Amino acid sequence: MTPIDWRMLNDELLRCPWFERVGERTDRDGDPLIRRAVSWNEAIRWAGAEISWWCANEAANQIRDALHNHYNREYQEWNNHITSFGSAIDGLLLGPVTASLPAEVRTKDVMDWVRSDLTGAYLECVYSHQSDVRLALDRVEWYKAGHFPCGWFVEEESAFPEHAVTVLY
Does 3 score more than 70 pLDDT?
Answer: no
pLDDT band at 33 (very low <50, low <70, confident <90, very high): very high
For 111-138, write each residue's pLDDT tens digit: 999 999 999 999 999 999 898 999 999 9
Round the average pLDDT of the chain to a whole number and report it: 94
For 36-82, write each residue's pLDDT tens digit: 999 999 999 999 999 999 999 999 999 898 888 888 888 888 888 89
Q: What is the pTM for the complete model shown?
A: 0.93
Give me the residue spans of the domains in the chain: 6-168
Does 147 score more than 90 pLDDT?
Answer: yes
What letter does residue 166 receive in the DSSP assignment?
E
pLDDT band at 110 (very low <50, low <70, confident <90, very high): very high
What whole-number percentage of the chain has pLDDT above 70? 98
